[in-house]
Amino acid sequence: MQTSDDMMNKIAAPVKRSSLAEEVAGRLQDAIVSGKYVVEQQLPTEPELMAQYGVGRSSIREAIKILVNRGFVKVQQGLGTFVISQTGSGEPLAQRLQRADFEDLNEVRLVLEVRIAEKAAMSRGQKDIEKMKGFLKKRYEYAVSHQLEACIQADIDFHNAIAQAGKNEIMVELYGTVAQLLMKSFVLRYGNTQTFIETQHLHDALLQSIIDKDPKKAWSCATKIATYSK
């Protein structure tokens, strides 16, 4: 026997993630933060939200509970759900990153790569250099042998090593989290290792600028990598 969630999932463009309530909560939160729904405004009714997101009543109710816990809305029995804050009480960053789209995450990654390169050039030690050399060597070896996932991981490890050389633990954690969340998308978007082969010389130049303790050149090299296109 089909449940209400089963039937609603057949609506065009339904939510696809495993946690329907989390996805709906995220979309509603984005709408509140962007100003689509303002403070004191009532959210659409349950049936309206069910139709809008293509999910069942239980998913909508759970999504509202999530938003209540985050401090964005309050439920007034018999009246409806009302927005009480456009900033909420603070959603954990890791949770926010999990529901971010590819473009936003990738932009954060590229901005971080430029800054961590500059910091690494000012703070790196000999052990940091050896780490970076090792990962960059692996990056190239995996690229020329067409091992895409391993190549992407080596690339992430190389930039993680740069972040570690910058001695900023927050940047290390943030970069690592963002890059790993993008891993699957990278595999699908690149398709092969050609881009990694083409940009190896840029990464070599970046490493050399860090070895030379030249933050300006490191910034420049990292920017070229971040803006590289065929």
Compute the distance between CA of residue 124 and CA of residue 106 in angstroms, rounded to an integer: 25
Q: Hey, is 73 helix, strand or coil?
A: strand
How many Å is the Cα radius of gyration of the chain?
A: 22
**SS3 at position 14:** coil
For residue 76, the surrounding DSSP H or E stretch is strand 73-76
pLDDT in tens, 130-167: 999 999 999 999 999 999 999 999 999 999 999 999 99
Question: pLDDT grade, residue 230 (50/70/90)?
Answer: low
Task: Report d(CA 66, CA 4) in Å as an integer.
Answer: 20
Output the pLDDT for position 223: 94
Residues 15-25 have pLDDT tens digits of 444 488 999 99
Beta-bridge mates of residue 42: 82
Q: Cβ contacts of residue 15 below 8 Å, gap of 6+?
A: 23, 24, 53, 54, 55
The structure tokens 């709408």 sit at: 31
Structure tokens at 157: 């490890």
Query: What is the C-alpha to C-alpha distance for residues 198 and 216, in angstroms, rounded to an integer?
Result: 23
Render pLDDT for 157-210 as a digit per residue (tens, 0 to 9).
999 999 999 999 999 999 999 998 888 888 888 999 999 999 999 999 999 999
Closest CA to 132 of 155, 112, 158, 156: 158
Side chain identity, residue 127: K
